[in-house]
Amino acid sequence: MDRLTTDLAAAIGAAHVLTDPELIAGYTTDWSRRYTGTAQAVARPGTTAEVAEVVRICDRHQVPIVPQGGNTGLVGASVPSRGGVVLSTRRLRRLDPVDALAAQVTAGAGVTIAELQAHAAAAGLEYGVSLASRESATVGGTIATNAGGLHTLRYGGTRAQLLGVEAVLADGRVISRLGGVEADNSGYDLSQLLAGSEGTLAVVTAARLRLRAAEPHAATVLAGLDGITAAAEAQAAIRARVPGVRALEYFEAAGLALVLAHTKLPAPLPRAYPSYLLAEVGGPAEDAERLAELPLLADAAVAVDRAGSAALWAYRERHTESISAAGIPHKLDIAVPVARLADFRGELDETVKVAAPEASAIVFGHIAVGNLHVNVLGPAPDDLAVDEAVLRLAAAHGGTISAEHGIGRAKVPWAGLNRTPEERSVMQAIKAALDPAGRFNPGVLFS
Ligand SMILES: Cc1cc2nc3c(=O)[nH]c(=O)nc-3n(C[C@H](O)[C@H](O)[C@H](O)COP(=O)(O)OP(=O)(O)OC[C@H]3O[C@@H](n4cnc5c(N)ncnc54)[C@H](O)[C@@H]3O)c2cc1C
């Protein structure tokens, strides 16, 4: 063992320091398989004090640190590019009893979203963020990416659930605001600063999170539509007339074909459509009736129980794995104003064709917030032409190059499309103040 791994082993136990290439392979390649790198070691600390010790050791040895939770991130930020230590948070598994009086809970960074949801449900409450990667994605990772997901329309993204964090800074100091006092204007909100920081400012070790009243399930509807214009109109009509709407998701014929081929599920509707809208409604039964009355949803499958709802959700939630089974996708997670969705979509196929003539684009996403996941299959992982073309198209339509996945390593060259030089320089000043040696996640967010 070299000095670095000897020191890490002394601090957290040799069993929690991995160096065998076979053992660390799962930590150095990201979920999409597009980004892969090398690491000197993977450190798996089990307490906040151990995280602090790992950070101090890496600082002493002058090696980069890549914080990692479930490694489900899709922008190459959770894996190292050129060596360093992967700091896995998966052993930070604190999960305190739900504070029912405040509807809050404190959870360790390594708790998965599925575990957090089950914990909240056992207390009759609900965690507002849900995503198809819930079995692996962690509390810390979703904070660091400010993850959105299926219920953003209803509850907002992770930022809106975050009341405070405990985190280890680059010099090993610990900051902690887990008291759960919601009314607190006593200075800068350092917890919110870490939401969306993509592991570049600190290691989140625990968080205080807001919970919501669990909503009864009224209905899930999967409707076939003529295209994205009809889907944009349908989602607007639902939002205007159905107060209990929780999710509005969009996908298309090409994505559904991959899902059916990969999962062997039967087709959801008797005939095929260019586009599909999935709506989930909570709240009173009248909401489901209002939804059923909407003429825009002429051909639809409807589920009023949870099992039927899960069966309809599978057509949407299994897109990511089905696309990945077909190849290594370029995942371009953009958002445009809802009013521009149809124009953006109308230009997308030609834009992709010009940049990568052999490529095809699979589109799905959270339509109510203008978020489309453009997945391009065909170009080599390191061919950036199609990434550039699609991200520029989103910006030209007044949109963002990252709706919920972050900038990571994948989108650094185009970060200036959405942020002014002034904003970028303020972000860099914050980075320099908190992590002057640039230990945390070099190459992520900034080149
Ligand atoms: C099938 C599938 C569906 C998905 N659906 C959605 C979706 O609907 N919405 C959405 O937003 N995303 C989605 N994602 C992307 C991904 O799940 C999210 O980005 C998630 O938040 C990543 O969590 P993680 O624990 O896996 O983090 P990782 O992938 O391990 O890390 C992601 C980033 O967070 C940093 N990080 C991780 N833990 C910490 C920590 N404790 N402290 C500081 N930094 C940390 C890493 O350095 C990295 O920059 C999906 C991914 C898959 C595979």
* Positions in the chain whose pLDDT score sits under 70: 1, 296
Taking CA atoms only, the protein residue closest to ligand 1 atom 16 is 73
Q: Say if CB 138 and CB 113 are below 8 A apart.
A: yes
Report the atom number in ligand 1 closest to the C-alpha of 148.
11
Gap from CA of 147 to ligand 1 centroid (Å)? 7
For residue 261, what pLDDT is reported?
97
Report the atom number in ligand 1 closest to the C-alpha of 441.
47
| Element containing residue 277 per DSSP (H, E) | strand 275-282
CA atoms within 13 A on the CB side of 103: 12
Taking CA atoms only, the protein residue closest to ligand 1 atom 46 is 78
Place of tokens 């295209």: 227
Gap from CA of 290 to ligand 1 centroid (Å)? 36
Gap from CA of 142 to ligand 1 centroid (Å)? 5
Instruction: Return the closest-CA partner of residue 184 out of 204, 158, 208.
Output: 208
Q: Which residues line ligand 1 (CB under 6 A)?
A: 31, 66-74, 77-78, 89, 109, 131-133, 136-138, 140-142, 144-145, 147-149, 198-199, 203-204, 320-321, 404-405, 441, 444
For residue 1, what pLDDT is reported?
63
Q: Which of 42, 50, 74 to mutate to test the pocket of ligand 1 (most atoms within 8 A of CB)?
A: 74
What does pTM read for this prediction? 0.96
Gap from CA of 184 to ligand 1 centroid (Å)? 28
Q: How do the residues of the chain divide into helix, strand and coil, expressed in percent and rounded to 5?
A: 40, 20, 40
Measure the CA–CA gap between 53 and 339, rounded to whole angstroms.
50
3-state secondary structure of 403: coil
For residue 395, what pLDDT is reported?
97
Gap from CA of 302 to ligand 1 centroid (Å)? 31
Q: Which of 30, 131, 441 to mutate to test the pocket of ligand 1 (most atoms within 8 A of CB)?
A: 131
Count Cβ atoms below 10 Å from residue 338 Cβ, excluding itself.
16
Gap from CA of 133 to ligand 1 centroid (Å)? 8
Q: Taking the mean position of all CA atoms in its chain, how far away is CA 295?
A: 33
Report the atom number in ligand 1 closest to the C-alpha of 89.
41
Q: How far is CA 367 from CA 33, 212, 372, 422, in A?
A: 26, 23, 7, 31
Q: Say if CB 24 and CB 18 are below 8 A apart.
A: yes
| Element containing residue 226 per DSSP (H, E) | none
